[in-house]
Chains A and B, each alone.
Chain A
Amino acid sequence: MSDHADMLERTPDDSASDAQIKREIASDEWSRVSPIAILYFFAKTLFFIINNIVIYSLPIFAFNFAKAKENIVFIGLGCLALAILIAMGSLLKYLFYFYRLSADRVEIKQGVFQKSHLDLPFAKIQNVKIIQPFYYRFSNFAIIELDTAGSAKQEANIVAIRLPLAESFKHIVQSIIKKPNSADKHETKDTEEQGNQVHSSDEVVLNKRSIKDLIIHGITNNRVWIFLGFLAPFYNAIAENIGNILMLVGFDIASFLDYETQSMGVFLLHLFSIFMLLMLVLVSFSIIGAIFVFFDYHLSKSGGRFIRRSGLFTKHEVSMKGSRIQRAVQQQDWLDIIIGRVNLSFEQNSAGVHGANQGGQLNSATKLIVPSVTTMEADELTLDVFSVNALSKISFQRISRRFIVRLLLYPMLMIYAIPALLLGAMLINGSGNPTVLSAILIGILVLLVILSVLRWYRWGYASDDTFIYVRKGLFGRDFIVFPIRKIQQTKFVQTPFMRKANLATVKFVLASGGITVPYLDKAVVTNIIDEALMVTAKEKPAWM
């Protein structure tokens, strides 16, 4: 597909098509697209079938290749029938597809059985793109793709329109939606540039990361692996003892799986060694990976814009307008808590940004990561973005203790059911030492209770006039802060038990995703929802 955006200069010839678009807007009539749209619908259905059905049924064909060869005629006829069916469907889709341009919005009516009527105000259009897929190449037609912040996957496309008309449409819509900060909007189209190392003069460097920081980052971000790898010298002993413990319980895996006892033990040991070796390799990979991505890390600020530059071979640049940042997250795993490091990230809207997740999470244009900074640096940077002081020092209110009970009932009870049933059955069978079995059962129970309590302990909620703060985690902890003014939607959830206890769960939806806080005081939840709705209605704050 080619993007004709901004490729063509406006010429006098365009005035004719401009006039036609303007006539369409003035007439306020429903229009059909060109019949070439049938091709579009055909291709789309075909791609859908290939992506969702053919790919998965390929193994079946592969296995029955000989049989398929014999019946090649039938298969060919089948394909032909399918193609005709798709073609008929595409024709129907074309016949039922209408669009209408008005002074302030686009409407699209489509659907043969399931009918939909879409309304898209011009003011909400972020970007108008003109796309000419390969099957339109021979023609002078194109698709107009209308991006709104709400439509990452949602379709707001005018599927077949003559190229000059499309250009005119784009031109006119852009002139209608012309905003004072449109130059800025344009700039953000390329939030991610590669190989661009030009520093403008007014840029202030806020943070740099040294190799040492990156090694720390590589280790802490795979701490499970390093922890297990650390046990490497002991795994002979561990393996033996595991065998002993299992024998003590009377759980004889070997006979259970109908294997010879010795070969099973050796097999497990080998498996374990390979596993450990793999982990060590992974940790090294993790460190190397961290250096690859974050080498020569610079976070700087220029005007209202935050720019991150880093990379060993490929230099990545992610820039983000400060006002577009939806939330700040300070992430700490247990190892981070011990050594006092924080992975800080600023997130902007994930829905509307094109290619939001290109190049993986670390280089995503929607996320600005500052890897393994100290707590103080993290707080300073957060202050720079949100004028919030020391996230870790905010006095969070705890959620209700009933949440522990909830966790124990679900999912802990379900998790517990598996070993409980297994060991219970062994107890009844009389196979195995009852004392040891009971000890194991109690041990697992205690572990699950501790996990539940820890989970509850990590939850915290706080709010002030402008911000909402959330703390959550299990072994590690995340501090999340976001402005009330950026909330897109709220959700209030209550079960009958929670109603009785005057509790509620709240979910805040931001352009970068949702944040749920469970089991808060009901009054706290209604108050914050009311406040969020009121602030939005009264002050009409922009979220971008």
Chain B
Amino acid sequence: MEYSNQTINLDDVSVESLPLKGISTRYRTIHISLTVLVTIIILAVFAFLDSGIVITRPEWMEFLGAAIYGLVLFFALWNILYIVFSFQFIQYAVREQDLHFQSGLFFRKLVSQPILRIQHIELNRGPIERKANLATLQVFSAGGVSHTFEIPGLDYEEAVALRKFIIDHKDLSLDE
């Protein structure tokens, strides 16, 4: 991955015209597959209770049964539809001096993180992410843990390159 490093007129640069780019589509695939998997497991547990094969059918299953299945399916569908429609808005941008991350379908959020303010960097990969060659980049500032800047679903190579870009940035060795 290449990063430009040309001199630019900072006065011209606005967050309105960011070179935003999407994350890996495998992130969406994983998200949907996981939702389906978890839903199947939850449904199976309820179906097992409902069937009354090993243990006696719990009483609340009598009158809540259909509602429970409905609710589980509703949340699953909601989750899947949400990622399908919101995925195109999960985008990030890297400029010479700052990082940006956009997300959200209804509440569209754009978080901007100046590189100067970065305290430390972490690259996180769960077992599924590793299988899919993805990684999550986390950037910590003095704004505290609840304001951690995070880009999920990055191609591993891209995440490593991005990490290197940040680490090699001269602002990172500045005081504070």
Enumerate chain A interface residues (CB-CB to B < 8 A): 104-105, 113-121, 123-124, 148-154, 156, 179, 349-352, 487-496, 499, 509-511, 513-514, 526, 529-530, 533-534, 536-538, 540, 542-544
A124, A496, A533: the one contacting B176 at CB < 8 Å is A124
Chain A residues whose CB sits within 8 angstroms of the CB of B173 once the complex forms: 104, 121, 123
Asked if A351 and B144 make an inter-chain contact with CB atoms under 8 angstroms apart, the answer reads yes
CB distance from A108 to the nearest CB of B (A): 9
Asked if A123 and B172 make an inter-chain contact with CB atoms under 8 angstroms apart, the answer reads yes
Chain A residues whose CB sits within 8 angstroms of the CB of B16 once the complex forms: 526
CA distance A228 to B135 in the complex (A): 56
CA distance A149 to B116 in the complex (A): 13
B110, B118, B147: the one contacting A509 at CB < 8 Å is B147
Asked if A124 and B147 make an inter-chain contact with CB atoms under 8 angstroms apart, the answer reads no
Chain B residues whose CB sits within 8 angstroms of the CB of A487 once the complex forms: 114, 117
Interchain Cβ contacts under 8 Å between A and B, 22 examples? A114-B126, A115-B125, A115-B126, A115-B130, A116-B124, A117-B122, A120-B120, A124-B119, A148-B120, A150-B120, A488-B114, A488-B117, A493-B107, A493-B109, A493-B110, A495-B108, A529-B15, A530-B15, A533-B114, A536-B117, A540-B174, A542-B175
CB distance from A257 to the nearest CB of B (A): 26
Q: Which residue of B lies closest to A351 (CB)?
A: B144
Asked if B112 and A533 make an inter-chain contact with CB atoms under 8 angstroms apart, the answer reads yes
Q: Which residue of B lies closest to A494 (CB)?
A: B108
Chain B residues whose CB sits within 8 angstroms of the CB of A529 once the complex forms: 15, 112
Asked if A351 and B143 make an inter-chain contact with CB atoms under 8 angstroms apart, the answer reads yes
Asked if A153 and B145 make an inter-chain contact with CB atoms under 8 angstroms apart, the answer reads yes
Interface string of B77-112 (1 = CB under 8 A from A): 000000000000000000011100000101111111
Q: Could you tell me the dominant secondary structure of chain B's interface residues?
A: mixed
Interface contacts beyond A489-B111, A533-B114: sample of 5 additional A-B pairs, CB < 8 Å, sorted by A: A149-B142, A351-B143, A487-B114, A491-B111, A514-B147
A104, A118, A493, A534: the one contacting B10 at CB < 8 Å is A534
B119, B126, B175: the one contacting A148 at CB < 8 Å is B119
Q: Which residue of A lies closest to B172 (CB)?
A: A121
Chain A residues whose CB sits within 8 angstroms of the CB of B14 once the complex forms: 526, 530
Question: Given A117-B123, A121-B172, A542-B176, is A489 in contact with B167 using a C-beta cutoff of 8 Å?
Answer: no
Q: Does B50 contact A (CB under 8 A)?
A: no
A-B contacts at CB below 8 angstroms, number: 169
Question: Given A151-B140, A350-B144, A488-B142, is A533 in contact with B108 using a C-beta cutoff of 8 Å?
Answer: no
Asked if A536 and B142 make an inter-chain contact with CB atoms under 8 angstroms apart, the answer reads no
Chain B residues whose CB sits within 8 angstroms of the CB of A544 once the complex forms: 176
- Residue in A119, A540, A542, A544 whose Cβ sees the most chain B Cβ within 10 Å: A119
Interface string of B161-174 (1 = CB under 8 A from A): 00100010001111
Asked if A488 and B120 make an inter-chain contact with CB atoms under 8 angstroms apart, the answer reads no
Q: Does B62 contact A (CB under 8 A)?
A: no
Interface string of B31-66 (1 = CB under 8 A from A): 000000000000000000000000000000000000
Q: Does B121 contact A (CB under 8 A)?
A: yes
CA distance A351 to B143 in the complex (A): 7
Question: Given A114-B124, A124-B120, A491-B109, is A510 in contact with B175 using a C-beta cutoff of 8 Å?
Answer: no
CA distance A124 to B121 in the complex (A): 11
Asked if A543 and B120 make an inter-chain contact with CB atoms under 8 angstroms apart, the answer reads no
Chain A residues whose CB sits within 8 angstroms of the CB of B111 once the complex forms: 489-492
Question: Given A491-B109, A492-B109, A492-B110, is A540 in contact with B140 using a C-beta cutoff of 8 Å?
Answer: no
CA distance A128 to B13 in the complex (A): 39
Chain A residues whose CB sits within 8 angstroms of the CB of B144 once the complex forms: 150, 152, 350-351, 509, 511, 513
CA distance A441 to B126 in the complex (A): 53
Q: Does B2 contact A (CB under 8 A)?
A: no
CA distance A285 to B109 in the complex (A): 45
Q: Which residue of A lies closest to B166 (CB)?
A: A119
Question: Given A114-B125, A123-B174, A124-B119, is A511 in contact with B143 using a C-beta cutoff of 8 Å?
Answer: yes
Asked if A149 and B119 make an inter-chain contact with CB atoms under 8 angstroms apart, the answer reads yes
Chain B residues whose CB sits within 8 angstroms of the CB of A123 once the complex forms: 172-176
- Residue in B13, B116, B119, B173 whose Cβ sees the most chain A Cβ within 10 Å: B119
B96, B106, B141, B167: the one contacting A119 at CB < 8 Å is B167
CB distance from A358 to the nearest CB of B (A): 17
Chain B residues whose CB sits within 8 angstroms of the CB of A150 once the complex forms: 118-120, 140-145
CB distance from B169 to the nearest CB of A (A): 10
Asked if B171 and A540 make an inter-chain contact with CB atoms under 8 angstroms apart, the answer reads yes
Asked if B114 and A495 make an inter-chain contact with CB atoms under 8 angstroms apart, the answer reads no
Q: Does B113 contact A (CB under 8 A)?
A: yes
CA distance A151 to B121 in the complex (A): 11
CA distance A509 to B144 in the complex (A): 9
Chain A residues whose CB sits within 8 angstroms of the CB of B175 once the complex forms: 123, 179, 542
**Nearest 5 pairs of A and B residues by beta carbon:** A150-B119, A537-B97, A150-B140, A509-B143, A149-B142
Question: Given A114-B126, A119-B167, is A511 in contact with B142 using a C-beta cutoff of 8 Å?
Answer: yes
Asked if A489 and B143 make an inter-chain contact with CB atoms under 8 angstroms apart, the answer reads yes
Chain A residues whose CB sits within 8 angstroms of the CB of B119 once the complex forms: 120, 124, 148-151
Asked if A151 and B106 make an inter-chain contact with CB atoms under 8 angstroms apart, the answer reads no
CA distance A509 to B149 in the complex (A): 11
CA distance A117 to B14 in the complex (A): 32
Asked if A116 and B123 make an inter-chain contact with CB atoms under 8 angstroms apart, the answer reads yes
Q: Which residue of A lies closest to B173 (CB)?
A: A123
CB distance from B111 to the nearest CB of A (A): 5
